[in-house]
Amino acid sequence: MAQNVGATCVFEKNLYVVVDKALQKVGIEKIKEEVILETCFKTNTVCTSLNGLDIDCKNKRVLYTSSAYEVVCASLEGEQIFSYKEKDMKIYCVAVFSNGEILIGDKSGSVHVLSKDGKQRRTVVNKCHKVVPICDISLNKSNTRSIICGPDFIEIYDIVSFK
């Protein structure tokens, strides 16, 4: 049976992959070999349109988007820390700032910052110029730019402040 592969990210020499309804990993050094991915934990994900997966390196936790269009924050072992969902928002993707705050993109083309604890959200881009829906979002290493990807366009935004 073929497996659907969703989002990917790298952390501590491991490639993490959302495969069907689980977070799986493999050591980067083993990628050239034919390997079986190790299941970290089960998730409620969908791999067809959602591309939300990132690791909060500072706090050693994983953030991913669920099939309910929410952000789920869990330990690397799968213990849920929090989930964030808004009734009128379909969250497709996530990226984590080095300070632990979470950048989220939704189907409508807006971009938001979610607090480290998932309790407060603020909108930072009401609507991207051409990227609708937002399919993927990422940050450069210095957290000074966000790269927002859609089906046909990519937009780059300078980040002027975390506060």
The pLDDT tens digits of the residues spanning 50-65 come to 668 899 989 999 999 9
pTM of the model: 0.86
The answer to whether residue 46 sits within a structural domain is yes
Task: Judge whether 163 lies within some domain.
Answer: no
Q: Is 82 helix (H, G, I), strand (E, B) or coil?
A: strand
- Which domain covers residue 14, as residue numbers? 5-158
Confidence category of residue 1, pLDDT binned at 50, 70, 90: very low
**CA separation for the pair 92, 68 (Å, rounded):** 10
- Residue 37: which of 83, 6, 62, 61 has the closest Cα? 6
The reply to whether 111 falls in a domain is: yes
- What is the per-residue pLDDT across 25-52, written as a single tens digit (0 to 9) for each? 888 887 777 777 888 888 888 666 666 8
- Count the domains in the chain: 1
